[in-house]
Structure 1
Amino acid sequence: MLKQFFILCSGADTDILNNCSNGEQNKYAGIGATVFFTALMATIAACYALYTVFDNLYYSLFFGVIWGLLIFNLDRYIVSTIKKRDNFIDELLQATPRILLAVIIAVVISKPLELKIFEKEINQVLLEQKNDLTLANQNQIAQQFNPKIAETENEILVLKSEIDTKEAEVNALYDTYITEAEGTSGTLKLGKGPVYKEKREKHDAALAELQQLKTDNKAKIAALENQIIALQGEYKANVADSQPIIDSFDGLMARVNALGKLPWLPSFFIFLLFLAIETSPIVAKLLSPKGEFDYKLEDQETIVKFWVNQQVAERQLLVKTDNDINNKVYTEIADEEEVMDYKRKKARELMRFQADAFLKKQKGIL
């Protein structure tokens, strides 16, 4: 049962192969098994690749099985259409397009499995890329907010500088009226005279201005600090919103690119393995000698070919002979008096009809 299934997978003519030896049947069963297991590997590879795209098991299985059936049909067609010839060069030329197709299929099959085999290494590369993208994203977003934050911080520093300048002025006025009272500066008179009172009033006015300035600037500083907090919150929100996009940077194309950053030699050997599996049925048919099945298949094909050629030649000869006979018959009867008289009679009738029709048409015009 299993042998017949693999023979069916090889695409061989079972009616002919059943009449061949067991060795010939086993050869084609082996070719069919290679075709089947190649399609099975293609199904597994496609399911994994599609799972990285859809992230859905059922979709991946459905389309993966369809892809596997497609590869199975292509491989079966490739193997079944290679015919053994008496000249190896002719066989090689016949198989060259099919070998190129097998190479393409091997690349398509091997790549998803490479992604699975080197999954840990690829994840490490993706992690590094995600970290780089995260830092780059944070810097890009920061470039949108840092100038505004810096400008707001400068405004706060200006307001604080105004308070510090005013405090220095008030302190200087305080020292002035105190030293005036002590007699160490100004009029150099001890006591609280008119000059002292004048300087004290000036200090008190400046102190009141300082208090008012502190009140006003503190309100402004609080508003500016709230703006900074809002800008920082908006920055963090933008970073948080864009981070899931970076975290999901592990699709099929990203993994293929990450695989390309790994050493190429292990991936190349895996590709060679699948290339050998994919081309093994073709190579086996090219290298194997012409067997019993090939001779019987050639015999059956040549019987049909020669029979068709014979039928075509007979039809062509029949048409040629019929044309020759018709030409000879018409040549012989062309000189008979009876035929000439009949043609004259019909010609006269035709001329009468034409004359009557012309006369009727002219009357209608008049």
Structure 2
Amino acid sequence: MLKQFFILCSGADTNILNSCSNGEQNKYAGVGATVFFTAVMAFIAASYALYTVFDNLYTSIFFGLIWGLLIFNLDRFIVSTIKKRGHIIDELIQALPRILLAVIIAVVISKPLELKIFEKEINQVLLEQKNELTLANKNQIGEQFTPEISALENDIIAFQNQIINKEAEVNALYNTYISEAEGTAGSKLLGKGPVYKEKREKHDAALADLNQLKETNTSKIQEAESQIALLKNNYESQIAATQPIINNFDGLMSRINALNSLPWLPSFFIFLLFLAIETSPIFAKLLASQGEYDYMLEDAETTTKTWVNQKVNERKMLLETDMNLNNRIYTDIAEEDELYNYKRKKARELMQLQADAFFQHQKKGL
């Protein structure tokens, strides 16, 4: 049962192969098995590749199965059309398009499995890239908010400096009127005289201005701090909104790029492996010696070709003979006087009728 299935996969003519030896049947069963397992590998590789794209198991298996069947049908067709006639150059010319296509297919089906084999290394590369993207993203978003936040922070510092400067001024006035009262500075008179009173009033006015400034600037500082907090919240919100995009930076293309950044030699050997697998059905057929099946197939094809050519030639000869006979028959008829006189009479009558009709037409026009 399994042998017949692999023979079917080889694309061989089962009617002819069944009459061949057991060894010849085993040879084509081997070719069919190569075709079948190549399609299985294509199915696995395509399913994994599509899974990295769609992230859906059933969708990946469905389209992977279609790809595997396509490769199976293509290999089976190419293998079945390579005829063993003992002319290796002709056979290579027949197989050349399939070999070129095998290189393309080997790249397509080897890449997904390379991604799986080097998954840990690729994840490390992607992690580094994600970290770089995260930092770059924060810096880019920060450029939108940093100038405004810096301006508000500078305003807060300016408001605080105004308070500090005013406090220093009030403290200086306080020391002045205290020294005046103690007689250690100013008029040097002990007691609360007119000078003390004047300096005390200056201090009290400055203290009132300080309290008013504190109230005003504190309000302004709180407002600026609220705006800074709002800007920082917006900054964090934008980072939170864009971070999932960076976290999802592990699609098929990003993984292929990460794979390309790894050493090329291991990937190259895996590519060669799949190239060998892809071309194995072709080379299995090319390397196989011309056997009993090939001779019987050639005999059946040449028999049919000879029979068809014979019928075509017979139809050509029949047509040529019929044309020659018709030419002789019509030549002999043309030489008979009876037919000549009859056609001459009818031609005379026709010309008379034409002349009468022309006369009547001209007469009506006058």
TM-score computed with the length of structure 1 as normaliser: 0.96
Q: How does 1:78-157 map to 2 (within 5 A)?
A: 78-157=78-157
**Distance change >3 Å, CA 106–CA 205, structure 1 → 2:** same
Q: Secondary structure at the match of 1:189?
A: coil
Find the counterpart in structure 1 of residue 7 from structure 2. 7
**Distance change >3 Å, CA 365–CA 24, structure 1 → 2:** farther
Partner amino acid, structure 1, of 2:3: K
Kindly report the root-mean-square deviation, in angstroms, between the aligned alpha carbons of the 2 structures: 1.6
**Distance change >3 Å, CA 106–CA 353, structure 1 → 2:** farther
Find the counterpart in structure 2 of residue 330 from structure 1. 330
In structure 1, the gaps of 5 or more residues are: none
Q: How does 1:1-366 map to 2 (within 5 A)?
A: 1-355=1-355, 357-358=357-358
Tell me, in whole angstroms, the C-alpha distance in 1 between the residues paired with 2:298 and 2:163.
107
**Distance change >3 Å, CA 112–CA 357, structure 1 → 2:** farther
CA apart distance, 1:171: 1.3
Tell me, in whole angstroms, the C-alpha distance in 2 between the residues paired with 1:93 and 1:318.
39
**Distance change >3 Å, CA 293–CA 174, structure 1 → 2:** same
Percent identity at matched positions?
A: 73
CA apart distance, 1:238: 0.5
Partner amino acid, structure 2, of 1:93: I
Partner amino acid, structure 1, of 2:84: K
**Alignment deviations for residues 179-203 of structure 1 (CA, whole Å, 9 cap, x no partner):** 2222222222222111111111011
Tell me, in whole angstroms, the C-alpha distance in 2 between the residues paired with 1:130 and 1:357.
101
Tell me, in whole angstroms, the C-alpha distance in 2 between the residues paired with 1:307 and 1:149.
94
The range that moved more, 47-56 or 5-14, is 47-56
Tell me, in whole angstroms, the C-alpha distance in 2 between the residues paired with 1:185 and 1:282.
113
Tell me, in whole angstroms, the C-alpha distance in 2 between the residues paired with 1:319 and 1:344.
33
Tell me, in whole angstroms, the C-alpha distance in 2 between the residues paired with 1:58 and 1:364.
90
Tell me, in whole angstroms, the C-alpha distance in 2 between the residues paired with 1:360 and 1:194.
154
The range that moved more, 270-279 or 325-334, is 325-334
Partner amino acid, structure 1, of 2:35: V
CA apart distance, 1:363: 6.4
CA apart distance, 1:358: 4.2
**Distance change >3 Å, CA 69–CA 178, structure 1 → 2:** same
CA apart distance, 1:121: 1.3
Aligned residues: 366
**Distance change >3 Å, CA 361–CA 152, structure 1 → 2:** farther
**Distance change >3 Å, CA 361–CA 240, structure 1 → 2:** farther
**Alignment deviations for residues 71-124 of structure 1 (CA, whole Å, 9 cap, x no partner):** 111111111111112321121112111111222222222111111111111111
Tell me, in whole angstroms, the C-alpha distance in 1 between the residues paired with 2:193 and 2:297.
137
**Distance change >3 Å, CA 359–CA 53, structure 1 → 2:** farther
**Distance change >3 Å, CA 355–CA 176, structure 1 → 2:** farther
CA apart distance, 1:207: 0.4
Partner amino acid, structure 2, of 1:222: Q
**Distance change >3 Å, CA 179–CA 314, structure 1 → 2:** same
Partner amino acid, structure 2, of 1:128: E
Q: Secondary structure at the match of 2:192?
A: coil
Q: Secondary structure at the match of 1:239?
A: helix
